[in-house]
Structure 1
Amino acid sequence: MSDVTQSSGETGKAAGGSLVGTLAAVAILTAVAAGGGWFLGGYISGTEQVPDQAMSDAAPKKKQEAKPLGEVVALKPILTNLGVPSTTWIRLESALVAKPGEEIAPEMAMNISDDFMAFLRGVNLMQLQGATGLAYLRADLEERARMRSEGKVERVFISSLVVE
């Protein structure tokens, strides 16, 4: 019976010793990680700080560089079914932004809208899923609008898109 108490006493000392060692290792690794993070944060952000005077001088230059928008022409909502599956309907509300100094005639806007409808009738539902699908749709619509307007359209804004 004394063998049992003796072996359990040694196990208690070993467990206590390994706990202190583990806590010391965790404390050292935490200090190393914090120091490394502080060093890398300073390295990434750069050592030179821009003075407030220089920042205030740079701000007006950014405002002067902004390009003005051209004429914005809202298109009538487009309601049509998709190509695949044909039972899925889509409603698109969009607007055309002309290049500065250019005008978009109502007939041209109507032709662009008809082209958008023809394009949407051939779209697969899988092409519209996710943020990239929406970005690709806008890029495709912009390309079609530029071709139809002979380069007068700069951007296409999608104000609403509902797929049912």
Structure 2
Amino acid sequence: MQWLAGFLVLTAVSAAAGVLSSLHLLSTVQQHSADSPPQVAAPPAVQAFGPGARLRKIAPVVTNLASPPGAWIRVEASVITDQVNEDEANVLVARVGEDVVAYLRTISPAQIEGARGLQYLREDLNERAAIRSSGKVRELIIETLVVQ
């Protein structure tokens, strides 16, 4: 019987402490919201790319993987290019697309499995795109990736 009385007292003390701390927190929040001036909009974020950068889509790539024999991959990607004229950009995007196909044919599904594998794939494709374009491609963005 003593343990039941002790349990009830402990429960009542815990509930009272919870109510008191909630009331204190509520009054503190109300006081701070009344004292603080209205929030000013944050300054615009710094752009990662220059004003001449453009996003250009690469044609969807569908190809088979190195192993197993029945494995296929479909990738939709875009590249961010610096100031490049339209004709040069079209040729550049086509070359990068060809390079993506050539690279994807050398990998297996196990190499791109999980977050780490996807990060390695992204880094490898970015590096290859930068080399292939002589630095005119700032970044390759993987939009969709399906392995079957």
Same structural fold, with TM-score higher than 0.5 when normalized by the shorter chain: yes
1:24 equivalent to 2:13? Answer: no
| C-alpha distance in structure 1 between counterparts of 2:89 and 2:118, whole Å | 27
Distance of aligned partners of 1:97 and 1:85 in 2 relative to their CA distance in 1, 3 Å threshold: same
| C-alpha distance in structure 1 between counterparts of 2:12 and 2:95, whole Å | 70
Paired residues in the alignment total 136
Distance of aligned partners of 1:27 and 1:73 in 2 relative to their CA distance in 1, 3 Å threshold: same
Gaps of 5+ in 2: none
Gaps of 5+ in 1: 1-13
TM-score, structure 1 normalization: 0.64
For 2:146, the equivalent position in structure 1 comes to: 162
SS in 2 for 1:156: strand
| C-alpha distance in structure 1 between counterparts of 2:3 and 2:77, whole Å | 67
Counterparts of 1:53-92 in structure 2, within 5 Å, are: 55-56=39-40, 59=42, 61-62=43-44, 65-66=46-47, 67=49, 68=51, 70-92=53-75
Q: CA deviation at 1:27?
A: 4.4
Q: Deviations over 1:55-103 (max 9, x none)?
A: 42x63x325x33547222221221111123232100111111113x345
Query: 1:69 touches 1:97 (CA, 8 Å); kept in 2?
Result: no
Which one has a larger percent helix, Structure 1 or Structure 2? 1
Distance of aligned partners of 1:86 and 1:69 in 2 relative to their CA distance in 1, 3 Å threshold: farther
Larger radius of gyration: 1
Distance of aligned partners of 1:18 and 1:156 in 2 relative to their CA distance in 1, 3 Å threshold: same
Query: 1:81 touches 1:87 (CA, 8 Å); kept in 2?
Result: yes
The CA RMSD over aligned residues, in Å, is: 3.3
One of 94, 97, 117 as aligned partner of 1:133: 117
Distance of aligned partners of 1:28 and 1:118 in 2 relative to their CA distance in 1, 3 Å threshold: farther
TM-score, structure 2 normalization: 0.70
Q: CA deviation at 1:23?
A: 3.1
1:122 equivalent to 2:106? Answer: yes
Percent of matched pairs sharing the same residue: 34
